[in-house]
Amino acid sequence: MINRLIEPTSGVIEVQGRRVLDMPVHELRRGIGYVIQQTGLFPHKTIAANIATVPSLLGWDKAKVRERTAELVDLVGLDPELLSRYPAELSGGQQQRVGVARALAADPPILLMDEPYSAVDPIVRARLQDELISLQRRVHKTIVLVTHDIDEAIKLADFIALLNVGGVLEQFGPPSELLRSPVNDFVADFLGSERALKRMGLLRVRDVDLAPVLDGIDASTAVRLDTPLRQALDVIVDSRSRAVAVVDDNGGVVGMLTIDQIATGMAKE
């Protein structure tokens, strides 16, 4: 409905303050990037030609297209030597990076991503998710991502819209809000029984009050301020203690994190 492949029957959808129904379809769609399942790359075109699809349709000159393609290859972490190859010669993770590069080629304000990582193995999937988070910090796009993986949604999203069968909206809000206060049994069941652990994955060590440093604290198993609380808890458990040192970016000890503080921080959040 956002790109009018399906026309809305009611309600209002706006893109940059304009109703989508008031915009020419070709204008609307050329301002939206797409990353779909199985990447959707053109198998008969080289990687360079795939990335250049929309700029070519927009009539960019060849020099500008080459410059933009080189920029995107660097942005998504692709080897420039792959540009002359075809999609079938690339791994699933490489193809997905090409799909993202193609979606960003004309610098659209919006990306639509339909289960973009469903076809890759869990290790590559986690790496691509991390790359998307890093990429978003640089390009600052509005991304609408569809997924059936609640852990992926919690990891990637600023806001989650949880839909029931038939497209019924059950809850909308930041991941922390859904995990803290599911509105009904459907949402609670969808989020799973480990909601507390999932919430810990959203919080960082810097989000809780640290204890003063005790003399003789062992900093060899320290955690950093930006470490997720869930990971920090693992460190505490593995060290067979109730506390772990916390260090800043320069490696200096700034406090201690205890299990009690994690529990207190979770209760406040």
**What digits encode the pLDDT tens for the residues 87-114?**
999 988 899 889 999 999 988 989 999 9
Phi, psi at 263, each rounded to 5°: -65, -40
Instruction: For 157, list phi and psi in degrees, rounded to 5.
Output: -85, 145
**Residue listed under structure tokens 């060899």:** 220
List the chain domain ranges. Answer: 14-191, 204-268
CA–CA dist 233, 160 (Å, integer)? 26
3-state secondary structure of 114: strand
Pair type for strands 32-35 and 110-114 = parallel
102-116 b/e with 16+ CB inside 10 Å = b?
Answer: bbbbbebebbbbebb
Q: What is the largest CA-CA distance in the chain?
A: 69
Quick one: 228 exposed, middle or buried, by C-beta within 10 A (0-12, 13-18, 19+)? middle
CB neighbours of residue 15 within 10 Å? 17
Topology classification of domain 204-268: CBS-domain (3.10.580)
- DSSP annotation of 81: G
Q: What is the pLDDT of residue 120?
A: 79
* d(C-alpha 161, C-alpha 168), whole Å: 10
- The predicted structure's pLDDT at residue 184: 95
pLDDT at 218: 67
Which residue is listed with tokens 């799909």? 99
Looking at the domain covering 14-191, what would its CATH class be? alpha beta
pLDDT score recorded for residue 83? 94
Distance CA 156, CA 137 (A): 12
Q: For residues 92 and 155, give the distance between their C-alpha atoms in angstroms, rounded to a whole number.
A: 21
Q: Strand, helix or coil at 119?
A: coil
Residue type, 150: I
Evaluate whether 225 touches 259 at the Cβ level (below 8 Å). Answer: no
Q: At what angle do helices 62-76 and 92-104 cross, to 10 degrees?
A: 130
Full-model pTM: 0.77
The residue with tokens 């029931």 is 164
Tokens encoding 143: 């991304």
Which tokens sit at 23?
A: 């915009």
Of 170, 169, 167, 173, nearest to 189 (Cα)?
Answer: 170
14-191 and 204-268 have identical folds: no
Q: Which residue numbers in the chain have pLDDT < 50?
A: none
